């Protein structure tokens, strides 16, 4: 994507964003052409204004009459003819508009090559090109991983993708598997035990930065495919389960931003990489698993596996008393029922952290919404034979009870943030094509950059 955003260019076609009310302020050829063409500045509409001879003179992008999509510039990359362009008026936040433009050029090309459309953008004045490209690369990492089907992205391949990003930035990499995994991370092992040997479970542990700096640990759910286990999903429920490692994919995108920017932190990345398959060794409803933390867990539903692998990873993360723990996971359908696919529900015990993050989400057009860790709902996770059940006893508050389950494995003294992401665009929007998506990571990077400035 770096070749899409140019540092400079002597010749670039100007692009103006206009609302219906703003049409009256157009002058010259743009005004004449808009009137003659019946251009109404509807949201996402694009008008090519001719210049001298056969040259393109300028472009108008309609914003519509309501609240404008702050990613509207992403529409341009898929609409404009080959050429070099510059954003001129009406785009509000130039950096966000430039990012939207670049992300609008994204295509998943692993299985079907797509010809480069040849559309380029000149970096807007005052915009940090490196910062835009850093965010774009993070989003590309997440999208590419999520879009890759499970036959080509199992636990081994996810671990190698994570290690590749670590090596790119000079990080130390450790992979825990086999008997070591079974001994030290029994719930990660149990969830992945039914997979074939080639798709055996593992824990990816990556360390980067000066150990003397504040410790920030990122944890991502890496369930490369989820059949539901013995509580098997219907066919319709499995169609998108290649994206059940979306938490890991997004964590790797966020980690790339942190390392590429050189934020002054001691970064740790933990990814439990598993496949929730069905075979003789599969864990069963009614089994009781002993976690790394020593908490015993009754299995109420084998399709609530993500919280099990996260729990062991979070227990490891908390052992170092880090300054901040962040986990991302495609955890519950209840989150989508509550907030839909675009808004990410998040949980934290830290009110100041929640307020800061909400502000960064708004600034980055990366929407998040805090939901409560409602303590009375803990009784829904009660077990008669173990310390806790992995599935709620009632069909209510599924995202909250999942967060409460995770909270049992994170000490009250640990500053912790959990987001229940979807990681997918059900339909295309400007700058956000249908398919795998990065969620919450641009807001989280903004938070980290503020808390740990260079």
Cite the active site residues. Answer: 233, 307
* Residue 395 burial by Cβ neighbours in a 10 Å radius (0-12, 13-18, 19+): exposed
Q: Where are the beta strands (DSSP E) in 251-323?
A: 266-276, 288-290, 296-298
268: CB partners within 8 A, 6+ apart:
205, 206, 207, 208, 215, 216, 217, 218, 317, 320, 322
Measure CA of the first residue to CA of the last residue in the chain; give whole Å: 25
For tokens 């966000």, the residue is: 96
SS3 of residue 68 by DSSP: coil
d(CA 244, CA 134): 24
Report phi then psi at 267, rounded to 5: -90, 135
Which tokens belong to 164?
């590749």
Q: Is the dihedral of CA 115, 119, 122, 123 positive or negative?
A: negative
Report the phi/psi class of residue 453: left, alpha or beta, with left for phi > 0 and alpha for psi in -120 to 50: beta
Other CB atoms closer than 10 Å to residue 269's CB: what's the count? 26
Q: How far is CA 377 from CA 232, 288, 381, 395, 399, in A?
A: 26, 21, 8, 12, 11
Locate 97 and state its tokens. 């508009």
CA atoms within 13 A on the CB side of 273: 30
Strand partners, 202: 177, 273
Q: How far does CA 39 lie from the centroid of its chain?
A: 36
> Which pairs with CB-CB distance under 8 Å and at least 24 residues apart come from 106-110?
106/1, 106/139, 106/140, 106/143, 106/433, 107/433, 108/143, 108/144, 108/147, 108/435, 108/436, 110/144, 110/147, 110/148, 110/152
Residue 389 in contact with residue 295, Cβ under 8 Å? no
Distance between CA atoms of residues 26 and 33, nearest Å:
10
Cα–Cα dist 162/156, whole Å: 10
By the 8 A CB rule, do 29 and 50 touch?
yes
């Amino acid at each position: 994507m770096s070749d899409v955003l140019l540092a400079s260019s002597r010749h670039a076609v100007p692009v103006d964003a206009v609302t219906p009310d703003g049409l009256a302020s157009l002058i010259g050829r743009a005004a004449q052409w808009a009137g003659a063409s019946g251009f109404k500045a509807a949201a996402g509409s694009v008008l090519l204004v001719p210049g001298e001879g056969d040259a393109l003179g300028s472009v108008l992008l309609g914003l519509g009459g309501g609240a404008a999509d702050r990613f509207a510039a992403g529409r341009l990359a898929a609409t404009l003819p080959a050429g070099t362009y510059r954003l001129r008026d009406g785009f509000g936040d130039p950096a966000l508009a430039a990012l939207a433009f670049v992300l609008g050029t994204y295509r998943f090309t692993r299985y079907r090559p797509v010809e480069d459309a040849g559309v380029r953008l000149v970096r807007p004045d005052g915009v940090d090109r490196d910062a835009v490209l850093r965010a774009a690369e993070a989003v590309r990492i997440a999208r590419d991983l999520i879009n890759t089907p499970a036959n080509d992205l199992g636990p081994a391949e996810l671990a190698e993708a994570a290690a590749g990003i670590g090596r790119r930035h000079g990080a130390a990499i450790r992979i825990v598997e086999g008997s070591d995994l079974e001994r030290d991370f029994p719930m990660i092992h149990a969830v992945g035990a039914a997979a074939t040997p080639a798709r055996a479970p593992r824990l990816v542990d990556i360390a980067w930065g000066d150990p003397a700096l504040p410790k920030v640990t990122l944890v991502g759910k890496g369930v490369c495919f989820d059949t539901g286990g013995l509580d098997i999903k219907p066919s319709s429920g499995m169609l998108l389960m290649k994206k059940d490692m979306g938490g890991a994919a997004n964590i790797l995108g966020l980690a790339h931003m942190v390392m590429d920017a050189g934020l002054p932190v001691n970064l740790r990345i933990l990814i439990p990489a598993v496949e929730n398959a069905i075979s003789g060794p599969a864990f069963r409803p009614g089994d009781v698993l002993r976690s790394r933390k020593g908490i015993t867990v009754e299995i109420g539903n084998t399709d609530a596996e993500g919280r099990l692998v996260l729990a062991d990873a979070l227990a490891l993360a908390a052992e170092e008393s880090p300054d901040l723990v962040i986990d991302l996971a495609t955890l519950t359908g209840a989150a989508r029922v509550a907030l839909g696919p675009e808004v990410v529900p998040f949980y934290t015990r830290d009110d100041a952290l929640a307020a800061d993050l909400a502000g960064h989400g708004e600034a980055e057009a990366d929407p998040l919404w805090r939901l409560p860790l409602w303590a009375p709902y803990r009784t829904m996770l009660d077990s008669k034979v173990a310390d806790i059940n992995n599935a709620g006893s009632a069909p209510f508050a599924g995202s909250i009870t999942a967060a409460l389950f995770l909270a049992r494995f994170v000490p009250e003294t640990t500053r912790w943030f959990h987001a229940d992401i979807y990681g997918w665009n059900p339909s295309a929007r400007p700058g956000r094509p249908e398919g795998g998506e990065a969620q919450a990571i641009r807001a989280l990077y903004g938070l980290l950059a503020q808390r740990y400035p260079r």
